[in-house]
Amino acid sequence: MDCQYLPLESTGQFSPLFLDYINKKDTLKPFYGRFPELSAFGEQIKAKSFDQTKRQILVDALEKQYAQIGQKPDFSILLNPNTFTVTTGHQLNIFTGPLYIIYKLITTINLARRLKEAYPDYNFVPVYWMATEDHDFAEINHFTLFGKNYAWTTEQRGAVGRMNPQELKTLFAQIPEKLTLFEEAYLKHDTLADAARYYVHELFGAEGLICLDADDASLKQVFAPVMRHELVQHISGELVAKQTELLENLGYKTVITPRDINLFYLDDQLRERIEQKEDGTYRVLHTKLTFTEAELLALLDEHPERFSPNVVLRPLYQETILPNLAYIGGPSEVPYWLQLKPVFDHFDTTFPILMPRNFAMYIPAVNAKRIRKLGLTPEELFKDTLALKHEFVETHTRHILKFDNENKTVNKALDNILHKAQMVDPTLEKAVLAETKRFANAVARLEKKMRRAEEHNQEVGVRQLLAVKNELFPNGGLQERSENFLTFHINDQTFIQQMLSVFDPFDYRMQLCLQ
């Protein structure tokens, strides 16, 4: 595989906040702990404390969650005080969702390997935090395969991880390809969480990846003191609001908006925000559920699993129940984590090293051959389609498509005409300038006609160019944000192993992988 690289800022696809972070801009240093470089992990290991009781609770929860998996991992390694995790997380998009989710998992696996090489006295376990409690079904219910969109419709509500995926049977009937792994996952498991764990384990279990479902009573019990504090003190929203203001004062757009109470009430078919009313009682939005403070805290003690952190507290929950060193996130996640450090400081929890995932464009052999034949560089591929086409035509033409020299000669003559006209009558200046503008417009029209004619002369090359551009940028966006890994895996069963072999978790550039 031929790999070429491009700075992320050259792609025009990433926010200033994300780019400034990976470029170590000084003004952002107060917003995180340690920068994601290999040498920083030694200090991160020393800073991360995680007691044995939590390790045992974590292992017990994983043993229970993997009960249906035939060859489950050996979780006992997590009982070792010298074992740490590196974590990525995502929603349970059907059929794995866009390519970048696979890339997040690969980055996490490779990071654990690199850390083991650099720090051999420690163990590092890659973790996939399954966002089972998320209730935004519209974000996970579809995927794209070979350019066609498929969607799951359901009347189920609440946390997606608890949904029954066997309704997907109707979707399999629409897909021409036989997807045995996913049929096994979705049609033989009762929850989407169990199904996702099954196929992720089949794809990445041999690489050491562990899936964690945090929708678990024992894990929530560990986090209960923070949730109690949140219900009574409402401090996290205030802390994030102040941090957000600091970022916005630096000119950045922020991602998340905190609430007074950053917890949901979670039950079957239900995940709704908890709010405190003016009279001091609490209510669950869009329901008739209300509680006094004493009732709500008693419920927390008895059923912590009925409380679910939102985007503000979920990262803190992660770092509370895992011996975690780093979080691997995408270009939207990294910016919102920068809003959260004061929450970690308040609860005396080590802020993880915040790492961007790998970014890539996979280019199959047919398009790779076209790119080499057309002589396209990585920078050119990311140009606007119209600009790219114009540049290609001008580069490959045997003719001169602009009247630059002629314009200079004519403009010099027009200047002389203007001077002579002004000598005769100054009011003629407007008439001469109008004629000059008409001439310039006529020249521009002629240049466009010549370019179109030359585009026709180069029809084969232009058609190939546009075909490559459209395939690599579906709907004008990045391939990794829409295409599913199956688009490539079905035709090449080594796809995942190839990406595992070429990704460097510490290389924060766009990687073009040409077959």
Query: Which one is predicted more confidently, 105 or 385?
Result: 105
- Judged against a pLDDT cut of 70, whether residue 234 lies above it is answered with yes
pLDDT given at position 446 = 74
Res 301 pLDDT > 60: yes
> Which of the four pLDDT bands, split at 50, 70 and 90, describes residue 455?
low
Q: Which segment of 22-26, 46-50, 402-406 scores lowest on mean pLDDT?
A: 402-406
Lowest mean pLDDT among 167-176, 204-213, 375-384: 375-384
- State pLDDT tens for residues 250-297: 999 999 999 999 999 999 999 999 999 999 999 999 999 999 999 999
Look at residues 216, 237, 483, 249 and name the one whose alpha carbon lies nearest to residue 362. Answer: 483
pLDDT at 175: 95
Q: Predicted confidence band at 1 (pLDDT cuts at 50, 70, 90)?
A: confident
- 374, 427 Cβ separation under 8 angstroms: no
Mean pLDDT of 110-121: 98
The DSSP letter of residue 445 is: H
How far apart are alpha carbons 279 and 369 in whole angstroms? 69
Average pLDDT over residues 465-479: 90
pLDDT value of residue 386: 85
Give the model's pLDDT for residue 398.
59
CB 62 within 8 A of CB 210: yes
- Bigger pLDDT: 52 vs 70: 52
For the cut 90, the answer to whether the pLDDT of residue 213 exceeds it is yes
Say what the pLDDT of residue 258 is: 96
State the pLDDT at residue 403. Answer: 64
Give the per-residue pLDDT at 31.
Answer: 98
Q: Is the model's pLDDT at 10 over the cut of 80? A: yes
Q: Which residue has the higher pLDDT, 147 or 62?
A: 62
And the tokens for 274?
Answer: 């908890």
Is the pLDDT confidence value at 406 over 80?
no
Mean of the per-residue pLDDT values of the chain: 93
pLDDT at 271: 97
Instruction: Indicate whether 314 pLDDT > 70.
Output: yes
Strands (E), 277-370: 282-284, 290-291, 307-309, 324-329, 353-356, 359-363
pLDDT for the residue 432: 78
Does 356 have pLDDT greater than 60?
A: yes
pLDDT grade, residue 6 (50/70/90)?
Answer: very high
Q: Does 462 have pLDDT greater than 90?
A: no
Is residue 407 pLDDT above 80, yes or no? no
What local confidence, expressed as pLDDT, does residue 307 receive?
98
| Cβ–Cβ under 8 Å, residues 354 and 326 | yes
Q: Which residues are 149's β-sheet partners?
A: 144
Mean pLDDT score, 35-39: 98
DSSP 8-state secondary structure symbol assigned to residue 98? B
pLDDT digits 0-9 by tens, 122-181: 999 999 999 999 999 999 999 999 989 999 999 999 999 999 999 999 999 999 999 999
73-84: per-residue pLDDT in tens?
999 999 999 999
pLDDT (tens digit per residue) in 437-452:
887 787 777 767 766 7
Which whole number is the average pLDDT over 422-436? 83
Secondary structure (DSSP) of 227-265: HHHHHHH-HHHHHHHHHHHHHHHTTPPP-----SS-EEE
- Assign 331 a pLDDT band (cuts: 50, 70, 90): very high
Please compute Rg for the chain using Cα positions. 29
pLDDT exceeds 90 at position 321: yes
**pTM for the whole thing?**
0.89
